[in-house]
Structure 1
C-alpha cells in the first residue's frame, strides 16, 4: 500500500483555494460587466434625454420647463459620475481578484511540480531496486549454471 503523501494533501488544499479564487474571479467579472452595462445605459439615456430637450427647446419652452430639463440632466450627470466610480472600483476589484487567482494557481502548480519530482525520485528508487533484484537473480543463475558444469 502506498504511503500517504503530505504534498498531495497540500495540493488538494491549494486546488480548493484555486477553485475558490476562480469562482470569486467570475463573480467579480460579473459585477464589473454589470457596472459597465449600467453606465452605458445611463450614458445612452442621458444622450436621448438631451436630444429630446433640444427638440423641445427648438419648438420653444418655458423657463421652468428648461430648469426641469436641466435639473434632470444634472441628476443624470451625478448618477453617471457615481456609476463611473462604481465601474472603477469593480475594475480594481477584478484586478485584485485576478492577481489572487494567479497567485493561487502558481501555488498549486508548485505543489504539482513537487509531487511530480517526488514521484520521479520514487520511481528511480523502485527501478534501482528492481534492477538490483534482477542482477542478483541473474548472478545466482550464472553461479548455479557454473557450478553444474563443474
Structure 2
C-alpha cells in the first residue's frame, strides 16, 4: 500500500474530527445564547418587580409585605448572580471548543496539503516509470530492427 492510500483514511478521520468539533462550537454557542436570554429575562423581571415594589410602597404596604418583597428581591439577585456565573461558564466552554476546532482544522489542512504533495510525487514517479518503460521498449525495438 502506498503512502497516498495509507493517508486517505487518516485524512477522512481528521475531517470527521473537524466536523464534530465544529458541531460542538455551534452547540456551545447556542447554549451561550440561551443563557444570555435567560439573564435578559431575569433582568427584565427584576426591573418589573422593582417597579411593582415602588408602586405598592406608594399605595402603602405592611412591614410583612415589605419583608416578603425584600426576600424575593434577594432571591432575584441570587438568581441573577447564578445566571451570570452560568454565562461565564458557557463562554469558557465556547472558547475551549473554538480552540479545539482550530487545532483540528489546522491538522486537517496540513494532512490535506501533505496528501496533495504525495499525490503529485506519485504522479511524477509514475510518469518517470512509464517514460522509462517506453524508452526501454523503444530501445529494444530499435535493437531488433538493426
TM norm. shorter chain > 0.5: yes
Task: Give unmatched runs, 5+ long, in structure 1.
Answer: none
CA distance in 2, matches of 1:127, 1:41: 68
The alignment's TM-score, normalised by the length of structure 2, stands at: 0.86
1:54-109 Cα offsets, whole Å, 9 max, x none, are 11112222211111111111100000000100110000001001111111111111
Runs of 4+ in 1 over 2 A off after TM superposition: 126-141
CA distance in 2, matches of 1:94, 1:71: 35
In structure 2, the partner of 1:23 is 23
In structure 2, the partner of 1:80 is 80
State the shift of 1:112 in Å.
0.4
The alignment's TM-score, normalised by the length of structure 1, stands at: 0.84
1:12-55 Cα offsets, whole Å, 9 max, x none, are 11112112211222221121111111111111100111011111
CA distance in 2, matches of 1:5, 1:132: 24
Task: Give unmatched runs, 5+ long, in structure 2.
Answer: none
1:1-150 to structure 2, matched below 5 A, reads: 5-133=5-133
> How many residue pairs are counted as aligned between the two chains?
144
Root-mean-square deviation (CA), in Å? 2.2
CA distance in 2, matches of 1:55, 1:134: 98
CA distance in 2, matches of 1:130, 1:5: 20
In our comparison, the structure showing a higher alpha carbon Rg is: 1
